[in-house]
Amino acid sequence: MTKILANDGISLSGKESLIAAGYEVDTTMVAQERLAEHILENKVEVLLVRSATKVRKDLIDATKGTLKFIGRGGVGMDNIDVEYAREQGMIVQNTPAASSRSVAELVFAHLFGMVRYLFDSNQKMPLEGDSQFNVLKKNYAAGIELKGKTLGIIGFGRIGREVASMAFGLGMDVKAVDPFVEEAEVVLPFANGSQMKFTVKPETMEAVLAASDFVSVHIAGAGQALIGAKEIEMMKDGAGIVNTARGGVVNEEALLEALDNGKLRYAGLDVFVNEPKPALKVLMSPYTSLTPHIGAATLEAQDRIGTEMADHIIAAFS
């Protein structure tokens, strides 16, 4: 019987699918320093991780006689030495489609919260709502609507297109940047089963940044800051930016400076440099809407991730 270690967990539906197919699934979380030993002792052939567990060269070398499949629940595989594992004959698989909707909805949670200053009012109302109600009411009366605004999407893959679909549904204009996409069809589905289709042709970074009221980032960046001081300077004065992609893709120092000097009005951040210990100055900025890397963390997304990964495993071992 093929043994699977879901070291960072797996949804119940995914686990049940694997058990029904004859696999043994262990959801014990093994400490990183004991992981290789545990895999060898228990003859684990499939290791499933999310972002907490790291699968680096040393672990791959130590387990390559036993481990055959590494699964990453989610999109990014920064915590896995993917190419090296594949060179050793291991299958490495992620679940790129499962969390797109969840990430896109979080983008708009940040956008709605930013334009109506919920990130600030939710902190001040408990402290001052009984004594400064009218002052706060006046302070937050300068909110704006998303309808009619332009959303620039940097990276137009699955998540970027899901964000575009929601933006079209809100009556926003959409512009995209993606050097690997010439043209993309975006589908806006409705509850009654009908749908509308839109065509988006990506443009240059300069053109999109200059035209956008808000920018949403959906590229991994390979550890590089793709939005820095130069790119921020290209943006509209008073624009907003949301990063749900990777910490560091947006340069935090340049972002804070732009927020402090008024070049940008607000930022929504789900990812940070040095997670899980983000810089205090980022956390304390009065212009930021913050979440702790929860883009894919909805019950629905976790369920889809589990079942999609189960399908990949069953297909690989059959």
Catalytic residues: 246, 275, 293
The beta strand positions in the chain, using DSSP E, are 3-6, 24-26, 46-49, 69-72, 91-94, 150-154, 173-177, 184-189, 195-200, 214-217, 239-243, 264-269, 288-290
Strands (E), 27-68: 46-49
> Who's near 172: CB < 8 A, 6+ residues apart?
146, 147, 148, 149, 150, 151
Positive/negative CA dihedral, 120, 124, 125, 126: positive
Report the interhelical angle of 100-115 vs 299-317 (nearest 10°): 160
Q: How many CB atoms lie within 10 A of CB 139?
A: 13
Distance CA 252, CA 118 (A): 22
Strand partners, 196: 188
Q: How far apart are CA 80 and CA 72, in angstroms?
A: 8
Let me know: does 20 contact 43? Beta carbons within 8 Å.
no
Site of tokens 């920018």 = 215
